[in-house]
Amino acid sequence: MVRTLSASEKTPAATILAYILPCLPIAAMGLPIVVYLPNFYANTVGLALPVVGFAFMMARTLDIVIDPLLGGLMDRTQVKMGRFRLWMLIGLPITFTGAALLFFPPKSAGAAYLIAALIVSYVGYSINVLAQGAWGATLSKSYHDRSRLYGWWQAANIAGLLLVLLLPVALGLKGSADAVRVMGMWLLVSLPVTIGLMTLFTPEPTKSATSAHRSVFETVRAVSYLLRHGAVARILAADLLLGLAPGVTGALFLFFFRAARHYSSLESNALLLFYFVGGILGAPLWVRLSRRIGKHRALIASCGFYVVVQSTTMLMPKMPMLAAALALVVAGLSYAASLFLLRALMADAVDEVRLETGRDDTALMFALLGSTNKLGYAIAVGLTFVGLDRVGFHPGDAAANSAAALNGLTMLYIILPALAATLGALVLFRYPLTEARHDDIRKALDSAGIDHAE
252-285 pLDDT, tens digit per residue, is 888 888 888 888 877 887 888 899 899 899 999 9
Report pTM: 0.84
Please tell me the predicted confidence (pLDDT) of residue 262: 84
Per the model's pLDDT, the better-predicted residue between 249 and 299 turns out to be: 299
Please tell me the predicted confidence (pLDDT) of residue 174: 64
- Number of neighbours of residue 169 by Cβ within 10 angstroms: 15
Q: How far apart are CA 183 and CA 190, in angstroms?
A: 11
Cα separation values, 166 from 9, 19, 173, 369, Å: 36, 23, 10, 29
From the list 231, 270, 255, the residue with the least C-alpha distance to 369 is 231
| pLDDT band at 102; cut points 50, 70, 90 | very high
| pLDDT band at 378; cut points 50, 70, 90 | confident
- Number of neighbours of residue 325 by Cβ within 10 angstroms: 19
Identify whether the C-beta of residue 404 lies closer than 8 Å to the C-beta of residue 391: yes
Query: How much is the average pLDDT of 438-454?
Result: 77
Question: Is the pLDDT score of 5 beyond 90?
Answer: no
Cα separation values, 401 from 46, 180, 250, 313, 404, Å: 18, 25, 20, 23, 8
> Of the ranges 115-129, 200-214, 432-446, which one carries the lowest mean pLDDT score?
200-214
Share of the chain above pLDDT 70, in %: 92
Please tell me the predicted confidence (pLDDT) of residue 2: 43
Please tell me the predicted confidence (pLDDT) of residue 453: 43
Identify whether the C-beta of residue 235 lies closer than 8 Å to the C-beta of residue 414: no
- pLDDT tens, residue by residue, 313-322: 777 888 899 9
Contacts by residues 220-228 (CB-CB < 8 Å, ≥ 24 positions apart): 222/72, 222/359, 222/361, 222/364, 223/68, 223/364, 223/368, 225/357, 226/353, 226/361, 226/364, 226/365, 226/368, 227/368
> Of the ranges 166-180, 237-251, 332-346, which one carries the lowest mean pLDDT score?
166-180
Query: How much is the average pLDDT of 200-228?
Result: 76
Please tell me the predicted confidence (pLDDT) of residue 397: 64
Question: Is the pLDDT score of 364 beyond 80?
Answer: yes
Query: How much is the average pLDDT of 171-188?
Result: 81
Query: How much is the average pLDDT of 220-238?
Result: 92
Q: How far apart are CA 55 and CA 102, in angstroms?
A: 12
- pLDDT tens, residue by residue, 17-71: 999 999 999 887 876 676 678 878 888 888 887 888 788 877 877 777 888 889 9
Please tell me the predicted confidence (pLDDT) of residue 385: 79
Helices (H), 140-175: 143-170
Identify whether the C-beta of residue 84 lies closer than 8 Å to the C-beta of residue 205: no
Cα separation values, 52 from 38, 156, 181, 244, 379, Å: 6, 29, 19, 18, 13
DSSP 207: P
Query: What stretches of 262-312 adopt beta strand conformation (E)?
Result: none
Identify whether the C-beta of residue 121 lies closer than 8 Å to the C-beta of residue 99: yes
Q: How far apart are CA 131 and CA 87, in angstroms?
A: 6
Q: What's the half-sphere exposure (Cβ side, CA atoms, 13 Å) at 245?
A: 29
Please tell me the predicted confidence (pLDDT) of residue 454: 41
| Domain ranges (residues) in the chain | 13-448
Radius of gyration of the chain (CA): 21
| pLDDT band at 240; cut points 50, 70, 90 | very high
Please tell me the predicted confidence (pLDDT) of residue 398: 63
Please tell me the predicted confidence (pLDDT) of residue 90: 97
For the chain, the average pLDDT equals 86
Identify whether the C-beta of residue 183 lies closer than 8 Å to the C-beta of residue 170: no
Question: Is the pLDDT score of 430 beyond 50?
Answer: yes
- Number of neighbours of residue 400 by Cβ within 10 angstroms: 12
Identify whether the C-beta of residue 97 lies closer than 8 Å to the C-beta of residue 120: yes
Check whether domain 13-448 has CATH 1.20.1250.20, yes or no: yes
Taking each continuous run of H as one helix and of E as one strand, the counts in the chain are 18, 0
80-113: string of b/e by CB count within 10 Å (b at 16+)?
eebbbbbbbbbbbebbbbbbbbbbebeeebeeeb
Please tell me the predicted confidence (pLDDT) of residue 170: 76
Please tell me the predicted confidence (pLDDT) of residue 434: 92
